[in-house]
Amino acid sequence: MNGPALAIPVPAQRESQMVVAAEAQGEFAALVHEHQAMVYSIALHYLRSRESAEEVAQEVFLQLYRQQQRFAGPAHVAAWLRRVTCNRAIDYVRHRRFEPQVSLADCPEPAVVAAQESAGSDPMLRERLRQMVGSLPEKARAVVILRYQEDLDPEEIARTLEMPVRTVKSHLQRSLALLRQKLGRLLGEDAV
């Protein structure tokens, strides 16, 4: 026979603390779901390794959780996440003498390749471009990723990476010239 359920009294203050903690967890979960693709993709395009990208992306979100920052709005959160992800990816490469590895998981599934081909884009070319972006110098790589993945203009990139706008523009010009040159050599001049 079941007796009456044991109700453990929770003090009012403790209860309100629990409610606040649950709300904070809920907000944090919403932020993770909203920005996970952005943070993970910046790290992935920078590091060219899914394992390392996940490691960096997790650390970025944990930093957000630890700091419990109060943000002025959604745009502020996104800008903060972009900045921290770029900085963490750069540190990751510097401190671990990181060399990108291509694992089996990085190879697209045949079904995905077929879908991409039907969308009119050459998956081999895309992969080559990603590899070449991954081989750019560290700051230039971050600039190119923020420009073409995140579609930021040079002023926004300058604010994110805390560098002058002129430097951003020069990184972009030099990187594009370099990428064009490399791709041209690879595919033949008339292919680009």
Partner 1 sequence: MNRFEDELRNALQRERPPEGFAARVLARAAAEPKPAGAWDRLKDWFRMPVVARAALAGALCLLVVAGVQYQQRQRLERIRGEAAKQQLLLALRVTGSNLRAVHDKVRELSASYSDAQ
Binding site for partner 1 (CB under 8 A): 21, 25, 28-29, 32-33, 36-38, 40-41, 44-45, 50, 54, 57-58, 61-62, 65-68, 121, 125-127, 129-130, 133, 144-145, 148-149, 151, 176, 179-180, 183, 192
Return the number of the residue (6 or 171) whose C-beta is nearest partner 1.
171
Return the number of the residue (36 or 170) whose C-beta is nearest partner 1.
36
Closest distance to partner 1 from the beta carbon of 111 (Å)? 15
Return the number of the residue (134 or 165) whose C-beta is nearest partner 1.
134
Q: Which residues are CB-contacts of 35 (< 8 A; sequence separation ≥ 6)? A: 77, 78, 81
The first and second tokens of residue 154, run together, are: 């040079």
Q: What angle do CA 162, 144, 124 make, to 5 degrees?
A: 160
Closest distance to partner 1 from the beta carbon of 65 (Å)? 4
DSSP class of 108: P
Closest distance to partner 1 from the beta carbon of 154 (Å)? 14
Ramachandran assignment for 13, one of left (phi > 0), alpha (psi -120 to 50 degrees), beta (any other)? alpha
Closest distance to partner 1 from the beta carbon of 40 (Å)? 4
DSSP class of 120: T
DSSP class of 150: S
For the chain, what is the largest distance between any 2 Cα atoms, rounded to a whole number of angstroms?
84
Helix ranges restricted to H, the chain = 12-47, 50-67, 74-96, 110-118, 123-134, 138-148, 154-161, 165-187
Return the number of the residue (41 or 170) whose C-beta is nearest partner 1.
41
Return the number of the residue (42 or 93) whose C-beta is nearest partner 1.
42
Closest distance to partner 1 from the beta carbon of 99 (Å)? 21
CA–CA dist 138, 47 (Å, integer):
10
